[in-house]
């Protein structure tokens, strides 16, 4: 289990991937790969913590349409901000998640709720594997992480659980971390955001007396079935994760070797 020794009040599911065991029993270096949600809700007390983490790059996986309606990321120092939008307008789940997080009107998403948001989330995870912008964004993120001048790397989407979660799967798999440890980190999101989910649901209840909580919770949680959908798509399309990294994302052996050189102790 990765440890961190710090927390961000305004980004409760932020965490350092350092300490996880990768290839040849070597551990992921502490303080180099940090996954977070969007940083617009950081408190004043969070800023010195972020400064101490000292990111060289803050990588944002959101689309410009999501960024426009969200609080501006609160940053310290002079990290390079890199936008790699992993987004598909054909999948309304992205904007639905943002709308839920930001307290926007959800009437436009009634049909999505009727269709089943858990199923829609699984579809998104399959799209992470095959979608054009997903493949471009995740591949470039891996290449950035393989270059020492880009570390420490902080990366996020809106909630820091789905796009951020799959990028974490890609990075950790490339580093040789086993699937059980990767899944454990992925599922930590639910415990870390339990109180935040309760606040969001209660706020939504006040605005919508007839709120269908079962239609909202799937976009606020991570679930084994979502991750399984992505892994199944990897196997269906590429046969193995190694082939997905190579053929789906274009990650060369040289890049993977460099990634391990930079990020494994």
Question: Does the annotation count 205 as an active-site position?
Answer: no
Looking at 157, 171, 219, 220, which residue is catalytic?
Answer: 157
Q: Look at residues 4, 64, 14 and name the one whose alpha carbon lies nearest to residue 196.
A: 14
Helix ranges, the chain (H): 46-53, 64-69, 93-102, 110-115, 117-130, 132-145, 163-174, 179-192, 194-207, 213-220, 224-238, 241-243, 253-263
Give the C-alpha separation, 127 to 130, whole Å. Answer: 5
How far apart CA 227 and CA 247 sit, in angstroms, is 20
Q: At what angle do helices 117-130 and 93-102 cross, to 10 degrees?
A: 120
What 204-211 contacts at long range (C-beta under 8 Å, 24+ apart), as own/partner pairs, is: 204/100, 204/103, 204/106, 207/103, 208/106
Smallest Cα–Cα separation from 59: which of 125, 193, 154? 154
Sheet with 15-16, side-by-side order of all strands: 15-16, 33-36, 153-156, 57-60, 80-83
What positions carry a catalytic annotation? Answer: 157
């Amino acid at each position: 289990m990765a440890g961190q020794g710090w927390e961000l009040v305004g980004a409760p599911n932020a965490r350092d991937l350092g300490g996880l065991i990768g290839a040849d029993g070597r551990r992921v270096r502490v303080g180099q790969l940090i996954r977070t949600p969007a940083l617009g809700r950081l408190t004043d007390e969070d800023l010195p913590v972020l400064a101490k983490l000292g990111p060289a790059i803050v990588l944002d996986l959101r689309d410009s349409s999501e960024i426009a309606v969200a609080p501006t990321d609160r940053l310290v120092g002079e990290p390079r901000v890199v936008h790699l939008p992993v987004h598909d307008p054909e999948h309304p789940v992205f904007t639905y998640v943002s709308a839920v997080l930001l307290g926007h009107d959800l009437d436009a998403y009634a049909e999505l709720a009727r269709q089943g948001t858990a199923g829609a989330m699984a579809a998104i995870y399959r799209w992470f594997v095959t979608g054009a912008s997903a493949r471009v964004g995740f591949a470039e993120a891996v290449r950035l992480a393989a270059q020492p001048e880009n570390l420490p790397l902080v990366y996020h989407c809106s909630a820091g659980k789905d796009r951020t979660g799959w990028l974490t799967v890609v990075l950790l798999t490339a580093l040789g971390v086993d699937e059980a440890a990767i899944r454990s980190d992925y599922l930590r999101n639910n415990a870390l955001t339990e109180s935040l989910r309760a606040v969001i649901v209660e706020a939504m209840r006040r605005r919508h007396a007839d709120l269908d909580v079962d239609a909202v919770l799937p976009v606020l949680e991570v679930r084994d079935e979502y991750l399984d959908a992505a892994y199944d798509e990897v196997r269906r399309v590429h046969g193995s994760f190694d082939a997905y990294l190579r053929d789906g994302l274009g990650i060369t052996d040289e890049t993977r070797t460099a990634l391990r050189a930079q990020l494994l102790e």
